Amino acid sequence: MSMAKLTLNGEEYEFPVVVGTENETGIDFSTLRARTGAIALDPGYGNTGSCLSTITFIDGEKGILRYRGYPIEEIAESASFEEVCYLLIYGHLPTDDELAGFVRELRLHTMIREEMKDFFKDFPMTAHPMMVLSAMLASLSAYYPSGSDDEEVDLNIIRLLAKAETIAAFSYKKSVGQPWVYPRNDLSYTENFLRMMFAVPAEPYVVSPVQARALNLLLMLHADHEQNCSTSTVRMVGSSQANLFAAIAAGVYALWGPLHGGANQKVIEMLRMIRADGGDYGKYVAMAKDKDSPFRLMGFGHRVYKNFDPRARILKKAADEVLGDLGVEDPLLEIAKNLERVALEDEFFVERKLYPNVDFYSGILYRAMGIPSNMFTVMFALGRLPGWISQWKEMREDPKAKIARPRQIYLGERTRPFAPRAARQAEPAPELTSA
Ligand code: ACO
């Protein structure tokens, strides 16, 4: 085993170097504080590995993403979302029997308890569907308490995946004031979701195969992305042994923010704004570069990718195909492509290695499918569920897993005597002096 040396206050310490299967290198500082009294300071955790994992590999410099070793491009070509769920959660591609059993279980658990529908009623119509999704997922723990045996955990995993799509579709129906459409056991995950979103009771509805394929692709591309903000949140909440539903509900909230999964909604808002402003993308690229402006190109940049996000590449191609197949012409797609071209030729973006991320083109696809922008991040959450679940499960099964508890460097006041309130009030107020 190779070692890394650290010199601190004249003393030398050695720490083991851990090398992953793709040669990524880490220094194991888990004994740092016990041995040296110092901690590793890394705000934003850009240099900190929080776990050892066998689920997802990313090489941000080369633009590589693999689930359990399978390249995302090959998964995107021919897998189904259900297969990807199984792969991520159970670690191997399912046999035909395993997949059939898994799909059957998913279809049997799509209903939510009838009384849960009342919870939706009390949210205002303006409630953001991400808020509703998280609250409803947390509420599942009231009905399905988490025991510790594996069978119960497996059943809760199925319940979570299956009921999440019903909850997501119901949250949309609530926001547009339409009656709920119940799930059907004979449809695939994506077909069922589209039907619950867009069908109206007593009216015939046929799921468009183009839409179902596009949704399958979108969900698979979002399925996992190793230790990002929301996944780390799921692991952090789960590390206290809070139940699966609570950990995932917390992950939904972490995903909501515009710097993370909420960016897909913001991208469309930005493209609309550019269009309304005459389509002058150069002006917005200039604003994004201006340090005095808070404006950023949404859907651009990534903590890990310093090259094309491979998911954005796949989605850009899919956007052309799906819009073509659906016969949709979206002027925002043209603006997005032009914005990308202008930004990628600009020194500011080149120097900082800022490329389009997964959120840049996903919204264009959702729009073409008739999904409104306030549902985009919900769609991301549905896709990310198997990733969150597999990461939570990996942590739960790790005998060495500990409660997550970072430290800090304190910069506040040093010890000072506490004066009781009465004594503080008795003190004369400091005199104001005029200049
Ligand atoms: N537009 C303009 N400038 C940018 C952008 C952007 N989208 N992203 C980064 N930069 C600049 C920063 O101003 C900074 O410049 P500086 O070095 O001169 O100060 C430099 O690039 C590095 O940016 P950081 O914010 O330090 O990078 P970090 O890794 O912390 O942030 C993040 C990554 C949050 C994704 C950032 O790129 C961003 O805000 N992008 C827009 C929001 C977005 O698309 N989020 C979705 C990410 S993908 C996902 O979560 C699914």
What is the topology classification, in CATH, of domain 263-368? Cytochrome p450-Terp; domain 2 (1.10.230)
**Rounded distance from Cα 45 to ligand 1 centre (Å):** 15
Distance 232 CA to ligand 1 centre (A): 19
What residue type is assigned to position 415 of the chain? T
Q: Is a pLDDT exceeding 80 seen at residue 97? A: yes
Ligand 1 atom with the smallest distance to the CA of 260 is 50
Angle (CA) 150-20-229 rounded to 5° is: 65
**Residue 352 Cβ < 6 Å to ligand 1:** yes
Regarding the beta carbon of 354 and ligand 1, being less than 6 Å apart is answered yes
Look at residues 261, 326, 334, 267 and name the one whose alpha carbon lies nearest to residue 296. Answer: 267
Please indicate whether residue 343, judged by its CB atom, sits closer than 6 Å to ligand 1.
no
Nearest-CA residue for atom 11 of ligand 1: 352
> From the alpha carbon of 288, which atom of ligand 1 is closest?
2
Convert the pLDDT of each residue in 293-325 to its tens digit: 999 999 999 999 998 899 999 999 999 999 999
* Residue 359 appears among annotated catalytic residues: yes
pTM, entire model: 0.93
Q: Is the CB of 39 under 6 A from ligand 1?
A: no
Spatial CB neighbours of 149, under 8 Å, sequence gap ≥ 6: none
- Give ranges for CATH 1.10.230.10 in the chain: 263-368
Determine the distance separating the centroid of ligand 1 and the alpha carbon of 400, expressed in angstroms.
34
Task: Kindly state if the Cβ of 259 falls inside 6 Å of ligand 1.
Answer: yes
Given a cut of 80, whether residue 180 has pLDDT beyond it is: yes
Every domain of the chain with CATH number 2.20.28 lies at 3-59
pLDDT at 41 over 70: yes
Residue 121: the pLDDT is 87
Ligand 1 center–CA 352 separation, angstroms: 9
Mean pLDDT throughout 128-142? 95
Q: Are 72 and 314 in contact (CB under 8 A)?
A: yes
Instruction: Work out the end-to-end distance of the chain between its first and last CA atoms, rounded to an integer number of angstroms.
Output: 67
The Cα 307–Cα 59 span in angstroms is: 9
Say yes or no: domain 3-59 is CATH 2.20.28: yes
Which segment of 19-33, 168-182, 213-227 scores lowest on mean pLDDT? 168-182
Nearest to 192 by CA among 162, 231, 221: 162
User: Which of 302, 304, 339, 347 should be mutated for ligand 1, with most atoms under 8 A from CB?
Assistant: 302
Q: Closest residue (by CA) to atom 4 of ligand 1?
A: 296
Among 68-77, 149-158, 172-181, the range of highest mean pLDDT: 68-77
Cβ 299 under 6 angstroms from ligand 1: yes
Q: Is the pLDDT of residue 429 over 80?
A: no
Residue in 290, 302, 320, 346 annotated catalytic? 302
Stretch (H or E) spanning 391: helix 376-396
